[in-house]
Amino acid sequence: MIEFIKQPWPWYVAGPLIGLTVPALLILGNKSFGISSSLRHICASCIPAGIPFFKYDWKKEIWNLVFVAGILIGGILSAQFLSNPDPVQVNPKLAAELATYGISDYSNLVPKDVLTWEALFTLRGFILMVVGGFLVGFGTRYAGGCTSGHAIMGLSTLQWPSLVATICFMIGGFIMANLLLPLILSL
């Protein structure tokens, strides 16, 4: 049984399981799926600075914080007990392309050649981690939610803003992966 859980699950199993969270949340408590709002709840509970954006009853959203804590605990347990010791399988064509940028270590979930503390203090690492993190945070706030909230919850409840946001996320992802990332990796 443990070997079945440890292997990668195909999209046609994992996708519907993720998708079933939407009706479960709606039926069980009329709640919306999303992760990015949990940061606001944490700030509202920890920072009593009188900032209007954080003045609301965050205790009504405690379920969201428990949900995020469950994701964190599940990730830690999975990494500890269910991780595959073999290097990550990378398509040979992609591996050849990444080798031209000096990325060849696939022993972890993310390439150690790019995402380490040492890499953070290079121009390439700073752009990928700090600038990229800022842009993701800004985009999440600007779009009124994250990709999971819009693409999973918003689309399933037929919300027009979520369709626009998801299309923009996809276009931005294509531009980043195909045009900007090769430029950044060549630094």
Coil, strand, or helix at residue 100? Answer: coil
- Say if residues 37 and 150 touch (Cβ distance below 8 Å): no
Provide the pLDDT for residue 160: 94
DSSP category for residue 174: H
The tens digit of pLDDT for each residue in 1-45 reads: 777 777 778 889 988 988 888 888 888 888 887 788 888 888 888
Cβ atoms < 10 Å from Cβ of 65: 16
Provide the pLDDT for residue 35: 83
Q: What is the pTM (predicted TM-score) of this model? A: 0.75
Provide the pLDDT for residue 31: 84
The tens digit of pLDDT for each residue in 88-143 reads: 788 999 889 989 988 888 877 788 888 888 888 999 989 999 999 999 888 888 88
